[in-house]
Protein backbone atom coordinates (compact mmCIF):
# COMPACT_ATOMS: atom_id res chain seq x y z
CA UNK A 1 0.00 0.00 0.00
CA UNK A 2 1.13 3.55 -0.70
CA UNK A 3 0.71 4.52 2.98
CA UNK A 4 3.93 2.56 3.71
CA UNK A 5 5.82 4.33 0.94
CA UNK A 6 8.34 6.92 2.30
CA UNK A 7 7.27 9.43 -0.35
CA UNK A 8 3.67 9.12 0.85
CA UNK A 9 4.74 10.04 4.41
CA UNK A 10 6.73 12.99 3.08
CA UNK A 11 3.70 14.34 1.20
CA UNK A 12 1.57 14.01 4.33
CA UNK A 13 4.16 15.92 6.36
CA UNK A 14 4.32 18.67 3.74
CA UNK A 15 0.54 18.94 3.79
CA UNK A 16 0.58 19.17 7.58
CA UNK A 17 3.18 21.96 7.54
CA UNK A 18 1.31 23.88 4.84
CA UNK A 19 -2.01 23.84 6.74
CA UNK A 20 -0.30 24.93 9.96
CA UNK A 21 1.54 27.73 8.18
CA UNK A 22 -1.47 29.10 6.30
CA UNK A 23 -4.35 28.41 8.70
CA UNK A 24 -3.17 28.21 12.31
CA UNK A 25 -3.72 31.24 14.55
CA UNK A 26 -1.50 31.05 17.65
CA UNK A 27 -3.52 33.76 19.43
CA UNK A 28 -6.87 31.97 19.37
CA UNK A 29 -5.32 28.51 18.88
CA UNK A 30 -7.75 27.79 16.07
CA UNK A 31 -7.50 27.13 12.34
CA UNK A 32 -8.99 29.60 9.83
CA UNK A 33 -9.48 28.67 6.20
CA UNK A 34 -7.04 30.62 4.01
CA UNK A 35 -9.62 31.06 1.25
CA UNK A 36 -10.78 34.71 1.27
CA UNK A 37 -14.30 33.74 0.21
CA UNK A 38 -14.62 31.17 3.02
CA UNK A 39 -12.80 32.05 6.30
CA UNK A 40 -14.25 29.03 8.09
CA UNK A 41 -12.86 28.52 11.60
CA UNK A 42 -12.06 25.03 12.92
CA UNK A 43 -11.00 24.02 16.41
CA UNK A 44 -8.25 21.59 15.39
CA UNK A 45 -6.00 20.52 12.55
CA UNK A 46 -8.02 17.43 11.69
CA UNK A 47 -11.23 19.41 11.17
CA UNK A 48 -9.44 21.95 8.99
CA UNK A 49 -7.82 19.25 6.87
CA UNK A 50 -11.21 17.60 6.36
CA UNK A 51 -12.76 20.96 5.44
CA UNK A 52 -10.07 21.74 2.87
CA UNK A 53 -10.28 18.26 1.37
CA UNK A 54 -14.07 18.17 1.09
CA UNK A 55 -14.81 21.79 0.13
CA UNK A 56 -11.82 23.35 -1.60
CA UNK A 57 -9.65 20.49 -2.71
CA UNK A 58 -9.63 18.96 -6.14
CA UNK A 59 -9.51 15.20 -6.54
CA UNK A 60 -5.91 14.71 -5.44
CA UNK A 61 -6.20 11.73 -3.06
CA UNK A 62 -5.10 8.61 -4.95
CA UNK A 63 -6.42 5.13 -4.18
CA UNK A 64 -3.92 3.05 -2.19
CA UNK A 65 -4.49 0.01 -4.39
CA UNK A 66 -1.50 -0.34 -6.73
CA UNK A 67 -3.40 -0.93 -9.99
CA UNK A 68 -6.32 1.45 -9.39
CA UNK A 69 -5.12 5.10 -9.49
CA UNK A 70 -8.62 6.54 -8.96
CA UNK A 71 -8.73 10.05 -7.49
CA UNK A 72 -10.91 11.24 -4.60
CA UNK A 73 -11.58 14.51 -2.81
CA UNK A 74 -10.79 13.17 0.64
CA UNK A 75 -8.99 10.29 2.27
CA UNK A 76 -12.26 9.14 3.82
CA UNK A 77 -13.82 8.70 0.38
CA UNK A 78 -10.76 6.82 -0.79
CA UNK A 79 -10.88 4.47 2.22
CA UNK A 80 -14.55 3.74 1.60
CA UNK A 81 -13.79 3.01 -2.05
CA UNK A 82 -10.91 0.73 -1.07
CA UNK A 83 -13.06 -1.18 1.41
CA UNK A 84 -15.96 -1.76 -0.98
CA UNK A 85 -14.01 -2.45 -4.19
CA UNK A 86 -10.58 -3.87 -3.39
CA UNK A 87 -10.96 -5.72 -0.10
CA UNK A 88 -11.54 -9.49 -0.05
CA UNK A 89 -13.35 -9.42 3.29
CA UNK A 90 -17.08 -9.91 2.62
CA UNK A 91 -18.83 -10.58 5.96
CA UNK A 92 -22.41 -9.92 4.76
CA UNK A 93 -23.82 -13.15 3.33
CA UNK A 94 -27.14 -13.60 1.54
CA UNK A 95 -29.51 -15.60 3.82
CA UNK A 96 -31.02 -17.52 0.89
CA UNK A 97 -29.55 -21.03 0.91
CA UNK A 98 -29.58 -21.41 -2.87
CA UNK A 99 -27.70 -18.13 -3.37
CA UNK A 100 -24.66 -17.86 -1.11
CA UNK A 101 -23.39 -14.50 -2.42
CA UNK A 102 -21.35 -12.33 -0.03
CA UNK A 103 -20.92 -8.56 0.15
CA UNK A 104 -18.59 -6.02 1.73
CA UNK A 105 -21.35 -3.93 3.37
CA UNK A 106 -25.00 -4.09 4.39
CA UNK A 107 -26.14 -1.61 1.71
CA UNK A 108 -24.98 -3.92 -1.07
CA UNK A 109 -26.61 -6.89 0.62
CA UNK A 110 -29.92 -5.00 0.88
CA UNK A 111 -29.82 -4.15 -2.83
CA UNK A 112 -29.15 -7.81 -3.60
CA UNK A 113 -32.07 -8.97 -1.42
CA UNK A 114 -34.39 -6.76 -3.48
CA UNK A 115 -33.57 -8.95 -6.48
CA UNK A 116 -34.90 -11.99 -4.61
CA UNK A 117 -38.15 -10.17 -3.84
CA UNK A 118 -38.51 -9.15 -7.47
CA UNK A 119 -37.96 -12.73 -8.58
CA UNK A 120 -40.96 -13.84 -6.51
CA UNK A 121 -43.18 -11.19 -8.15
CA UNK A 122 -42.30 -11.24 -11.86
CA UNK A 123 -45.43 -9.46 -13.15
CA UNK A 124 -44.79 -5.70 -13.14
CA UNK A 125 -47.30 -2.94 -13.91
CA UNK A 126 -45.97 -0.99 -16.90
CA UNK A 127 -47.88 2.24 -16.23
CA UNK A 128 -45.55 5.20 -15.62
CA UNK A 129 -45.01 5.91 -11.94
CA UNK A 130 -46.58 2.66 -10.71
CA UNK A 131 -44.13 -0.29 -11.00
CA UNK A 132 -46.19 -2.49 -8.64
CA UNK A 133 -45.34 -6.20 -8.71
CA UNK A 134 -47.58 -9.26 -8.49
CA UNK A 135 -47.09 -13.00 -8.21
CA UNK A 136 -49.42 -13.93 -11.07
CA UNK A 137 -50.92 -12.44 -14.21
CA UNK A 138 -54.49 -12.47 -12.88
CA UNK A 139 -53.55 -10.19 -9.96
CA UNK A 140 -51.82 -7.84 -12.38
CA UNK A 141 -54.89 -7.68 -14.64
CA UNK A 142 -57.09 -6.89 -11.64
CA UNK A 143 -54.71 -4.10 -10.66
CA UNK A 144 -54.66 -2.63 -14.19
CA UNK A 145 -58.37 -1.86 -13.96
CA UNK A 146 -57.41 1.04 -11.71
CA UNK A 147 -55.49 2.63 -14.60
CA UNK A 148 -57.83 1.68 -17.46
CA UNK A 149 -61.37 2.25 -16.17
CA UNK A 150 -63.34 5.06 -14.57
CA UNK A 151 -64.16 4.68 -10.86
CA UNK A 152 -67.70 3.36 -10.45
CA UNK A 153 -68.12 2.69 -6.71
CA UNK A 154 -69.60 5.78 -5.08
CA UNK A 155 -69.16 6.74 -1.44
CA UNK A 156 -72.32 5.83 0.49
CA UNK A 157 -72.15 8.91 2.72
CA UNK A 158 -74.77 11.44 1.64
CA UNK A 159 -73.32 14.56 0.03
CA UNK A 160 -69.86 13.10 -0.67
CA UNK A 161 -70.00 11.83 -4.25
CA UNK A 162 -66.41 10.58 -4.39
CA UNK A 163 -65.92 7.44 -6.48
CA UNK A 164 -63.45 4.57 -6.28
CA UNK A 165 -62.26 1.65 -8.38
CA UNK A 166 -62.65 -0.93 -5.63
CA UNK A 167 -65.06 -1.34 -2.72
CA UNK A 168 -62.25 -1.70 -0.16
CA UNK A 169 -60.91 1.76 -1.06
CA UNK A 170 -64.37 3.24 -0.56
CA UNK A 171 -64.63 1.59 2.88
CA UNK A 172 -61.22 2.96 3.86
CA UNK A 173 -62.27 6.42 2.63
CA UNK A 174 -65.40 6.32 4.81
CA UNK A 175 -63.29 5.39 7.83
CA UNK A 176 -60.62 8.07 7.44
CA UNK A 177 -62.70 10.96 6.06
CA UNK A 178 -66.21 10.45 7.43
CA UNK A 179 -65.35 8.41 10.58
CA UNK A 180 -67.76 5.67 9.54
CA UNK A 181 -66.94 2.32 11.20
CA UNK A 182 -65.63 -0.41 8.92
CA UNK A 183 -68.52 -2.72 9.66
CA UNK A 184 -71.96 -1.11 9.86
CA UNK A 185 -74.52 -3.00 11.89
CA UNK A 186 -77.61 -3.22 9.74
CA UNK A 187 -81.11 -3.19 11.22
CA UNK A 188 -83.06 -6.39 10.63
CA UNK A 189 -85.57 -6.00 7.80
CA UNK A 190 -89.03 -5.01 8.98
CA UNK A 191 -91.87 -7.45 8.44
CA UNK A 192 -93.72 -6.45 5.26
CA UNK A 193 -97.39 -7.10 4.51
CA UNK A 194 -98.24 -7.50 0.80
CA UNK A 195 -101.37 -6.00 -0.68
CA UNK A 196 -104.16 -8.57 -1.03
CA UNK A 197 -105.53 -7.05 -4.23
CA UNK A 198 -104.88 -9.35 -7.21
CA UNK A 199 -102.00 -8.11 -9.40
CA UNK A 200 -100.78 -5.46 -6.92
CA UNK A 201 -97.13 -5.54 -5.79
CA UNK A 202 -97.44 -2.94 -3.03
CA UNK A 203 -96.08 -3.87 0.41
CA UNK A 204 -96.33 -2.07 3.73
CA UNK A 205 -94.26 -2.34 6.91
CA UNK A 206 -95.90 -3.96 9.84
CA UNK A 207 -96.27 -1.96 13.06
CA UNK A 208 -95.47 -5.03 15.14
Domain spans, the chain: 2-86, 88-120
Number of C-beta neighbours around residue 164 at 10 A: 17
Which helix (H) or strand (E) is 46 found in, with range? Answer: helix 45-51
Can you give the pLDDT at residue 183? 64
Same fold, 2-86 and 88-120: yes
Residues paired with residue 36 on neighbouring β-strands, in sequence order: none
What is the dihedral angle through the alpha carbons of 190, 191, 197, 198, rounded to the nearest 10 degrees? 100
pLDDT at 3 over 70: no
Class of domain 88-120: alpha beta
Can you give the pLDDT at residue 184? 58
Residue 105 · residue 87 · CB < 8 Å: no
pLDDT tens per residue across span 95-145? 777 777 777 777 778 877 776 665 666 777 877 777 777 777 888 887 777
Which helix (H) or strand (E) is 124 found in, with range? Answer: strand 123-124
Pick the CATH number of 2-86 from 3.30.160, 3.30.70, 1.20.1270, 3.40.50: 3.30.160
pLDDT tens per residue across span 149-174? 777 788 888 889 888 877 888 888 88
Cα separation, 165 vs 145, whole angstroms: 8
pLDDT tens per residue across span 25-50? 888 889 988 877 788 899 888 888 88
pLDDT tens per residue across span 170-208? 888 888 888 887 765 555 555 677 777 776 777 776 665
Return mean pLDDT, the chain: 76
Can you give the pLDDT at residue 164? 83
5: pLDDT confidence band, cut at 50, 70 and 90?
low
3-state secondary structure of 55: helix
pLDDT tens per residue across span 88-98? 677 778 877 77
57: pLDDT confidence band, cut at 50, 70 and 90?
low
Which helix (H) or strand (E) is 192 found in, with range? Answer: strand 192-194
Mean pLDDT value of segment 68-89: 74
Can you give the pLDDT at residue 138? 83
Amino acid sequence: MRSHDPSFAVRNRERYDEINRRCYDSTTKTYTCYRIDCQKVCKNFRSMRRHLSCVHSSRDVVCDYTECNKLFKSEKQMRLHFKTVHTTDKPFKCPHNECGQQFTNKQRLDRHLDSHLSAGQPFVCEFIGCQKRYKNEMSLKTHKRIHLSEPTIKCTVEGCGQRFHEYKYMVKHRQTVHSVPRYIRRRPPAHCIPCQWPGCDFTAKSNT
